[in-house]
Chain A
Amino acid sequence: MENLQLPPKPEKSLFKKTRALIILLLVLALYVWTFVTIDIDWGRAIERSINNFHRVIPKLFSPDWAAAGEVGEAMLETIFIAFAGSLMAAILAVPLAFLAAQNMMGGKVTSTIGKWILSAIRAFPDLILAILFVVAVGPNAFAGVLAIAIGSTGMLGKMFSEIIESIDMEVVQAMEANGANKIQILFYGVIPQITPEFLSYAIYRFEVDIRASSILGIVGAGGIGTMIIFASSNRNWNEMGMILFGIIIVVTVIDFASARIRRKIV
């Protein structure tokens, strides 16, 4: 064991080394720029928090039960918005997903177009869609439904198209060999393979949409968000505590139920 020898140095190409170095420098520069130019008024933040802490935090933990009824109603409206929106999205997403999936409509061109449409829809934050729909249909819950429907179509369409791309194409080929036509293949070869996962994702999306629709109220699109804005501008933190409590309960229950249903489906 005396003549132990050190291993050769790893060979790394100059290209890889410089690339790693450049990326490192870029990231470093990004962070320096961020932290140097960010405009935080520490003095005021600290002063305010000392003044406000006892006015806000303890009250959040003693919810205003008198507001329970109103919160319940607003939460119900939130659920309605999320439900109607997700269901619409689940339906709208199906044709788009078939368009975007590479193994369905044929051509790479249609698939690319479909994918572009979906990713363009996804680039609109829900709230911006809500702003547009509030202008179109007025400040009401239905604007929220439309915002959720369009916003979720982007994400669901993407998920659905990935599911379609992952199906077992041998089944489809076997049916083609049997002389089945396109519609028959769709109903007997494709749909049975994708239905459980489609449902599972749609239900999951409903979970996400409950959260999403609880904020649309800031721009007048209905739901609990309206109450959040009122409570905050009135500095009514007891009521905010009640709202928070309502949201936590509803979201937890729906997450739990949705997880169980999804486990049963798949």
Chain B
Amino acid sequence: MTKNNSLTQKSIPLYPAKTKMQVTIIFLVILGFYLFSMIRTQEDMVGGISGALGNMYVVIEKFFPPNFTILSAIWDSMLETIKMAIIATTIAAIITVPLAVLSAQNITTFKPLYYLTRTFLNLLRTIPDLVLAVIFVGLFGVGVFPGILALTVFSLGILAKLISETIESVDMNPLEAMRASGGNVFQVIWYSLVPQVAPQFTSLVLYVFEINVRASVVLGMVGAGGIGLVLNQQIKFYNYPNAMTIIIVIFVTVLIIEYISNKLREALL
């Protein structure tokens, strides 16, 4: 954006004056809003930004060296997190199918149904995982069950949206051919839609699984089971070397899962 200014010296402007004007105004508005945001978010900070950033080394001092002796104790919680993510992703992947079909414009030609599903999914996607978790914990008490429910609902919104977009981009020609040869709705979907969507579907499910593993950190913080629970306890007791170990375990787990799912994805597509 700033490059427009450096071009103004030329006698014949490269961009019309109106565009230049608009870009400058937008740029100033963004800059202004940014400065304002920075000031507002730093209001409660003692010592100002320079002091705070200078404190960065404090983090290192407090968190390092990590206390790896607790590894065996946190192992079960990490596995629990993975299990929660597996179950939630599986349930979401199943429920997604009808929702994604109903919210794909090219398949659901009955408009009211399409708009209804689409609105429902959009609404679902506005609710943060944290809110879902506290509500479900409020309903079912602490434990993995509310955590799984929260993850399921959370990933459902994301997954259904992504898959309905995939469905909307398929080649409609084979569907027409199947219809023309007398296939009913289910046969048309199974024979010409499913083969086109299946690889992308699997890839998106893996992606949502990754998201769910990350999100389960949040869940643990409010009592919905998994590794987040342990992390929260350690931080509450200011036991930073232990917390660092947990953070490293999460980091490594996420990297491994991402690596495996990338390999699977390559094999599929």
B55 CB-CB contact with A under 8 Å: yes
> What residues on B are CB-neighbors of A211 within 8 Å?
126, 128
> How many angstroms between the C-alpha atoms of A116 and B243 in the bound complex?
24
Within A31-61, which residues are at the interface with B (CB < 8 Å)? 31, 33-35, 37-42, 44-45, 48-49, 52-53, 56-57, 60
Contact B144 A219 (CB under 8 A): no
> Looking at the complex, which one of A48, A57, A222, A255 makes contact with B140 (CB distance below 8 Å)?
A48
- Given A218-B222, A244-B131: A138 and B46 within 8 A (CB)? yes
Q: Name the residue of chain B whose CB is nearest to the CB of A129.
A: B247
CB-nearest residue of chain B relative to A256?
B122
| Residues of the B chain whose Cβ atoms lie less than 8 Å from the Cβ of A255 | 122, 126
Query: Is the pair B221, A127 in contact by a Cβ cutoff of 8 Å?
Result: yes
Question: B214 is contacted by which of A52, A125, A135 (Cβ under 8 Å)?
Answer: A125
Q: Would you call A123 and B251 a contact (CB within 8 A)?
A: yes
Taken residue by residue from 194 to 224, chain A's Cβ proximity to chain B (1 for < 8 Å, 0 otherwise) reads as 0100000000000000010011001100100
A45 CB contacts on chain B under 8 angstroms: 140-141, 143, 145-146
Check if A160 is an interface residue, CB within 8 A of chain B.
no
Q: A191 with B128: in contact, given A228-B134, A232-B137 (CB under 8 Å)?
A: no
CB contact under 8 A between A251 and B126, given known A87-B34, A138-B45: yes
Q: Considering only CB atoms, which chain B residue lies closest to A131 in the complex?
A: B235
- Nearest chain B CB to A139 CB, angstrom units: 8
B86 touches A34 (CB 8 A): yes
- Is A173's CB within 8 Å of the partner chain B? no
Contacts of A30 in B (CB 8 A): 86
Distance of A157 Cα from B240 Cα, bound (Å): 30
CB distance from A161 to the nearest CB of B (A): 16
Q: Mark B234-245, 1 if CB is under 8 A from A, else 0.
A: 010000100100
Q: Does any Cβ of B come within 8 Å of A29's Cβ?
A: no
CB-defined contacts of B38 to chain A, threshold 8 Å: 84, 145
Task: Say yes or no: A247-B126 contact (C-beta < 8 A), given A77-B41, A140-B44.
Answer: yes
Residue of B nearest to A47 (CB): B141
Q: A49-B139, A219-B221 are in contact. Are A123 and B83 (CB under 8 A)?
A: no
Q: Which residues of the partner chain A approach B163 to less than 8 Å between Cβ atoms?
A: none
Given contacts A37-B83, A248-B127, A252-B122, contact A135 B59 (CB under 8 A): yes
The number of residues on chain A lying at the interface, defined by a beta carbon within 8 Å of a beta carbon of chain B, is 70
Question: Which chain B residue has the least Cβ–Cβ distance from A191?
Answer: B3
A134 to B37, CA, bound (A): 18
- Closest-by-CB residue of A relative to B215 is A125
A247 contacts B52, C-beta separation under 8 Å: no
B34 and A83 contact, CB distance less than 8 A: yes
Cβ contacts under 8 Å, B46 to chain A: 138
The total of chain B residues at the interface (CB under 8 A) is 66
Closest chain-A Cβ to B259's Cβ sits at a distance in Å of: 9
Which of A63-71, A93-101, A235-243 binds B? A235-243
Indicate whether A123 sits within 8 Å of B134 (C-beta atoms), given known contacts A137-B45, A229-B222. Answer: no
Most chain B beta-carbon contacts within 10 A, residue among A30, A125, A231: A125
The answer to whether A137 touches B52, judged by C-beta atoms less than 8 angstroms apart, is: yes
Which B residues, 1 to 60, have Cβ-Cβ distances below 8 Å to chain A?
1, 3, 30, 33-34, 36-38, 40-46, 49, 52-53, 55-56, 58-59
Nearest CB to that of B211 among chain A residues? A125
- CB contacts (< 8 Å) of A219 on chain B: these are 221, 235
Flag if B145 contacts A248 (CB, 8 Å): no
* Contact in complex: B144, A40 (CB < 8 Å): yes
Residues of A within 8 A of B34 (CB): 83-84, 87
Residues of A within 8 A of B129 (CB): 215
Q: Cβ of B80: which chain A residues have Cβ within 8 Å of it? A: 38-39
- Asked if B55 and A136 make an inter-chain contact with CB atoms under 8 angstroms apart, the answer reads yes
Q: Is B258 an interface residue (CB 8 A)?
A: yes
A124's closest neighbor in chain B, by CB? B251
B198 at the interface (CB under 8 A from A): no
In the complex, B87 has a CB within 8 A of chain A: yes
| Contacting pair B138 A235 (CB below 8 A) | yes
User: 4 closest pairs, A vs B, by CB?
Assistant: A137-B52, A141-B41, A232-B134, A80-B37
A-B contact pairs, 7 of them (CB 8 A): A52-B138, A83-B37, A125-B218, A127-B217, A128-B251, A136-B56, A248-B127
Task: A38-B80, A135-B62 are known; give 6 further A-B pairs, CB within 8 A.
Answer: A42-B145, A45-B141, A80-B40, A237-B138, A240-B134, A247-B126
What residues of chain B have their CB less than 8 Å away from a CB belonging to chain A? 1, 3, 30, 33-34, 36-38, 40-46, 49, 52-53, 55-56, 58-59, 62-63, 80, 83-84, 86-87, 90, 122-123, 126-131, 134-135, 137-141, 143-146, 148, 214-215, 217-218, 221-222, 231, 235, 240, 243, 247, 250-251, 254-255, 258
